[in-house]
Amino acid sequence: QVQLQESGPGLVKPSQTLSLTCTVSGDSISSGSYYWSWIRQPAGKGLEWIGRVFTSGSTKYNPSLKSRVTISVDTSKNQFSLKLSSVTAADTAVYYCARVGASRTFDIWGQGTMVTVSS
């Protein structure tokens, strides 16, 4: 079955860039059937959509984060990535990658990775 796995540093210093990768198994990103997305959740709080990428590399971002976010795809590695620049403590959260299924549902999720922004 399709599985997603996030990876990347668990600790990032303020003002630096947060970088995460999501590795997809059991499906090919190149199939062009889905969008691929990042979502985050601060401790004890709700879910926030960050953005999505398509196989072609086309992207769509949450307007509230757009100026700091870059999402890219590497079809050769079956991965997609998130970069969030100029991070502050407010960016501390569990970051999830997810597949965007039909009707704009997030039908498959990674287990999530905790990222703390601290000096």
Partner 1 sequence: QSVLTQPPSVSGAPGQRVTISCTGSSSNIGAGYDVHWYQQLPGTAPKLLIYDNTNRPSGVPDRFSGSRSGTSASLAITGLQAEDEADYYCQSYDSSLSAYVFGTGTKVTVL
The 3-class SS string of the chain reads CCEEEEECCCEECCCCCEEEEEEEECCCHHHCCCEEEEEEECCCCCCEEEEEECCCCCEEECCCCCCCEEEEEECCCCEEEEEECCCCHHHCEEEEEEEECHHHCEEEECCCEEEEECC
Q: Which stretch binds partner 1 (CB under 8 A): 11-19, 47-55, 73-81, 82-90?
A: 47-55
Nearer to partner 1, 79 or 99 (CB): 99
7 binding partner 1? (CB under 8 A): no
Q: Catalog residues that contact partner 1 under the rule CB under 8 A.
A: 37, 46-49, 52, 60, 62-64, 96, 101-107, 109-112
